[in-house]
Amino acid sequence: MTTGQIVAMGGGGLASDPEDALMVGFVLGLAGARRPRVCFVGTATGDAEAYVLAFYRECARHGCTPADLGLFDRRMEDLHAFVLAQDVVYVGGGNTASLLAVWRAHGLDAILREALAAGTVMCGVSAGVNCWFQASTTDSFGPTLAPLHDGLGFVPGSACPHYDGEEQRRPLYQRLVAGGFPAGWAADDAAALHFRDGELVEAVATRPGARAYRVEAVDGRAVETPLPTRVLDP
């Protein structure tokens, strides 16, 4: 069993929207540090400079100690020591399949598992959700969404971000689960799922009406169960 805390955000995350700042604040509160050390991992967008800069701007608003881990122009020799020193690892959106391949090539997957067990909070949006689960829905292979089966499995089952934000997500996920895809969790764009030791702690949201769901197969069809979702206070 994988121990530790993971926050899977359906959408949002690093932007100037006050709602996104609420979600970032929630994650930082889980770190339990006065000035948490937060590392951004932008592998899913090829370490895009604009995404990294957005992360540093957001950190400046929250009084944390930021860092970023680039793997395409890698400057960090000792990944193990660097990652284990972080209080929070934030994984950005983008291409989930490419992210997983690059992480495995650098051995980052095993390091993240160790850091999670040591107390580092893992979080992310979109691809930064998919990576933590066994399976997910992804646009990694083109504009038509497809299933992905080889996530890290830090949380059992499957995941579907952007549940209300992209029209293909909900129907595809339900078809997959009905057809034998692992049961799992879905989150609207302004909602997130907080897990500890692979078990759901709670669902939170930054706006009323945003929800998270448990999706399971019952008698050959997908059953979607809305979860109690706490709206974060501004």
Tell me the CATH number at 143: 3.40.50.880
pLDDT confidence band for 59 (50 / 70 / 90): confident
126, 136, 140, 158: the catalytic one is 126
Active site residue 162: yes
pLDDT confidence band for 234 (50 / 70 / 90): confident
pLDDT tens per residue across span 123-182: 999 999 999 999 999 999 999 999 999 999 999 999 999 999 899 999 999 999 999 999
Q: How many domains does the chain have?
A: 1
Active site residue 126: yes
pLDDT recorded at residue 208 = 94
pLDDT tens per residue across span 83-140: 999 999 999 999 999 999 999 999 999 999 999 999 999 999 999 999 999 999 999 9
**Would the pLDDT of 16 be above 60?**
no
- pTM value surpassing 0.75: yes
Domain containing 171 equals 5-231
136, 140, 158, 162: the catalytic one is 162
Average of per-residue pLDDT across 18-40: 90
| Residue 109 and residue 103 in contact, taking contact as beta carbons nearer than 8 Å | yes
Phi-psi region of 69 (alpha: psi -120 to 50; beta: other; left: phi over 0): beta
